[in-house]
Amino acid sequence: MARPSRHGPNQGGDIMITWCLEEEAAKDWHECSMKAESAVSTTPLHSPPTAVTTNVPKTTTTVSFNTEDLNEKIDKNVEKRIWNKKGEAEPTVLECPPLGLESLRVKDAQLQASSFKRRGLGPHRGRLNIQSGIEDGDIYDGAWCARYEDKKQWLQVDAMRLIRFTGVILQGRSSIWSWDWVHTYKVQTSNDSISWKPCMNGTKEAIFEGNRDSETPVLAVFPEPAVARYIRINPQTWYKNGTICLRAEVLGCTLPDPNKIYPWQMEQVIQDKLDFRHHNYKEMRKLMKSVNEACPNITRIYSIGKSYAGLKLYVMEISDNPGKHELGEPEFRYVAGMHGNEVLGRELLLNLMEYMCQEYKKGNQRVVQLVKDTRIHLLPSMNPDGYEMAYKKGSELSGWALGRYSWEGIDMNHNFADLNTVMWDAIELETDKSKLINHYFPIPEQYTSKDAFVAPETRAVISWMQNIPFVLSANLHGGELVVTYPFDMTRDWAPREHTPTPDDSFFRWLATVYASTNHVMSNPDRRPCHYVDFLRHNNIINGASWHTVPGSMNDFSYLHTNCFEVTVELSCDKFPHASELPAEWVNNKDSLLTYMEQVHRGIKGVVTDKETEAGIPDAIIKVDSIDHHIRSASDGDYWRLLNPGEYEITVTAEGYMPVTRKCQVYYEPHPTICDFRLTKTPKQRLREILAKGGKIPKDLQLRLRQLRTRKLRVTTKAINQRRASQQKIRASQR
């Protein structure tokens, strides 16, 4: 069939031609013509044409996380699996707490030794669970090692006051190249470091059992406690193919000081009345339940899924309207316990729940404002199975790795989809850079299959991320003192390399906010935890600059969702003793609150349809000069974290004309409101009218005619240019 003339006798002909030029889905010209003729009929159709499809913006299927009843009993099969032996769930009870070699409360100057091989193996390295670098021979090695191999070698601790010593925990050398540990040892105590008294077992000097490998901590309890200021560990036998090397913790109770002889060692007074102890799964449920009962109007408990062993992943929601997303209110999350043996984050989040409930009831304006303006989600234990493994051993005896992995042996810090590689491969292969995406990268199909080696805990967190429009998050870890920010993975699989995101300046701000308000991190006199001196970096670092982590939650969050996330390494000690929890709360309380408040920086607003005023989901918000976009939530609201400055913002949505405006971000911690009202494209309006069987308005007819004329002009110009070019070629060939 010949196409009709572009100079049709009526409006219907013009509309028909324009529609047929733009509609790509039409099967042939006749079908397209029939659609357009129906559309301009004076009598509306009784039903929309079946051949017409309406393109709507893609939206995420919302999953409801129902409120949990913590009065419900734990499943019997789960109970049997986790706590199958009587008394197994409770850790070893120590008569006295650790002195603080592992947590660094004991300073380097308090440690001395009979001899040491070199500086990197000096007495200051003889701390329980201290880790060495990859290379032996540097100043950060993994133990105290004596220079000589005889029974006269010793490691000495000066407690700086009288202590009731009750035991010692010993460990071998941390090294991937050497095997060194002590088999047996003696202990002596002294009040003046000159005359020494041996630890006795009846009438004989006690000989204590040490290690049989380099990593497992071994506890030795003294037959009788010894009151003294100094204590020495004196190795007697050691691994035959190694040398005298050890890492240690000393257990002891502080004696009363009524005369205040040691004022510098007075215990810190904690004002907040919180439950400072370690909570296993059952105790965690009780605490969360008590907080919910104390503050039912601002709290809600829900579960995002279950662990491999069947323990629920509980979340505490704190909001003035719990259970609902309020238009314009940002969503914030803290996640702790990804590694089950890094327990401080878990206890800090439980304390944070209690604190916010108590302070809200007291009218603390800072807390009240946070609750009113933010929807807060606290996941205290992402890996409850791993935690229970570590908890059964106890804070000083779980070692460096027990409980780190999931029940299946998965490290969840490497278990999220590697979208970095997807992005970088696309950049290398795509010649047309305009086709590249820079956000909401889809998850590879092989990752989502049931056979993929993905932990159920990881899948649950991904579903949580996809169904709540989180804006800001922090992932709480332990074992170091530093805040890391994306990217966590290096581009070319290098062991370490600075790999920034397009939002590097804002991520640096986020990391600095937490680190600078943390009492320990901000202390300029603190020593490094293990083998990296993060003080040189102001206690923040790009994750990939430290070590590459493929499949991290931080990178996944940034590339697959709108949420910005950092990792906070909270303490040198992964599993601090319960006696240290009050001080750790003081160290981190202001950091936790201040970081949450950063969710209100930048710009926010609502993207709406200019005609209907309805929110537009999945609208793309582009910031000029930052190659990373975000999207609006299901109600059309959005939040874009930005540093102070003036930005040109462009919003686009499928079926709408793009809108650009300038927005100013100020230094005050309040977002700038930047709303956008979008107008449907003529094509989209026509599609919707056709779908409803309606009559095309005159303004749309005029607009479509203008578009048709413009398109024909462009096409005619291109044809004429091509003909002129061909004529020149023929003329030159003659």
Give the pairing of strands 676-678 and 620-623: unpaired
- Could you tell me the two tokens for 171? 């460990």
Coil, helix or strand for 620?
A: strand
- Burial of residue 695, with CB atoms counted within 10 A of its CB: 0-12 exposed, 13-18 middle, 19 or more buried: middle
C-alpha separations of 154 from 93, 234, 405 in Å: 28, 4, 36
C-alpha separations of 522 from 48, 119, 314, 527 in Å: 66, 26, 32, 12
Please name the residue ranges forming H helices in 630-697: 682-692
Q: Which residues contact 645 (CB under 8 A, 6 or more apart)?
A: 664, 665
Nearest in space to 385 (alpha carbons), one of 404, 372, 368: 404
565 is catalytic: no
The active-site residue out of 68, 388, 565, 569 is 569
**626-631: long-range pairs with CB below 8 Å, 24+:** 626/502, 626/503, 627/438, 627/502, 628/438, 628/439, 628/501, 628/502, 628/503, 628/558, 629/438, 629/439, 630/439, 630/562, 631/439, 631/440, 631/562
Q: Is the dihedral of CA 585, 590, 594, 597 positive or negative?
A: positive
How many Å apart are CA 286 and CA 314, to the nearest integer?
12
Q: Is the dihedral of CA 725, 726, 731, 734 positive or negative?
A: positive
The verdict on whether omega for the bond into residue 487 sits within 30 degrees of 0, i.e. cis, is yes
Rg of the chain taking only CA atoms, in angstroms: 33
How many Å apart are CA 731 and CA 734, to the nearest integer?
5
Q: Is the dihedral of CA 511, 513, 514, 517 positive or negative?
A: positive
Give the pairing of strands 182-190 and 208-209: antiparallel
Amino acid letter, 646: E
C-alpha separations of 459 from 335, 382, 450 in Å: 14, 11, 11
Contact call for residues 563 and 470 (beta carbons, < 8 A): yes
How many Å apart are CA 219 and CA 180, to the nearest integer?
18
Bin 446: left if φ > 0, else alpha if -120 < ψ < 50, else beta: alpha
Largest Cα separation within the chain, whole Å, is: 121
How many Å apart are CA 602 and CA 646, to the nearest integer?
10
Q: Which residues are catalytic?
A: 569
